[in-house]
Amino acid sequence: MVVVTGVLKEEIVGVFRELLPMLENGEILRRNYSRGIIGGNEVTVVYGFIGKIESAMMAQAVIDKFHPKYIIHCGSAGALSPELKIGDVVCGTVYYEHDFERSGMNALGASERLLEKIKDTYGAVKFGPIASGDILVSDRATKERIYSRFGALVVDMDSYAIAKVCWENGVEFCALKVVVDTSEEHALMEYEQNFRKFASLPSTIVSELLEKHLL
């Protein structure tokens, strides 16, 4: 099974609308999930969590209930790399936790198989590190500090936590994120302007991947 997760419903709709046939609707930890078939793959989609704690909680819950082989996390992120622009799609190759001090950087790698299939599905994806933390990055100084330390292309609040839970459980993982803000002083305004326009793009790419490849 493949589980596709997102913080908000708009971030998983590209997969949700392709679940044919639909096999089941239900709740897990009071969040809605749907299970169905895309291509030859059994797929479950779930959304409704934010930040590292809720992301880890939901990742463990879906692993315990569905025993997936893969979890793909779809959503939005803020740009750290100056080479990125609004609407660019980034696939995380390595995941860092930027707001917790420790010795070393404790990088977690993505599933090589998922990276290969995403690259084959959508040629415009940019591959590189993603940094996660429980803060909204909305000033240039913080943005530059995180980018300088980790070299991450984008920043979010969830990918590292899910990657960590997947690593502990032996589940293959990757996150696919679309840039909706620049992580600078106008980040919230940019998010509000761009989220609905671009939010479904990562899950649409994942849907194409599932139609094309048997995982």
Q: Looking at the 3D structure of the chain, how many domains does it have?
A: 1
Question: Could you list the residue range(s) of the whole structural domain that residue 113 is in?
Answer: 2-212
pLDDT tens-place string over residues 166-182: 999 999 999 999 999 99
Peptide bond into 21 cis (omega under 30): yes
Put simply, whether the predicted model's pTM sits higher than 0.85 gets the answer yes
Interaxial angle between packed helices 112-121 and 201-212, expressed in degrees from 0 to 180 and rounded to the nearest 10? 100
Which residues are part of the catalytic machinery?
Answer: 11, 181
pLDDT digit string (tens) for 111-144?
A: 999 999 999 999 999 999 999 999 999 999 999 9
- Structural contact between residues 158 and 49, judged by C-beta atoms closer than 8 angstroms: yes
- The residue among 161, 53, 148 whose CA lies nearest residue 97 is 161
Q: What CATH number does the domain containing 64 carry?
A: 3.40.50.1580
Least Cα distance to 7 among 107, 132, 193, 184 occurs for 132
Confidence tier at 106 by pLDDT (50, 70, 90): confident
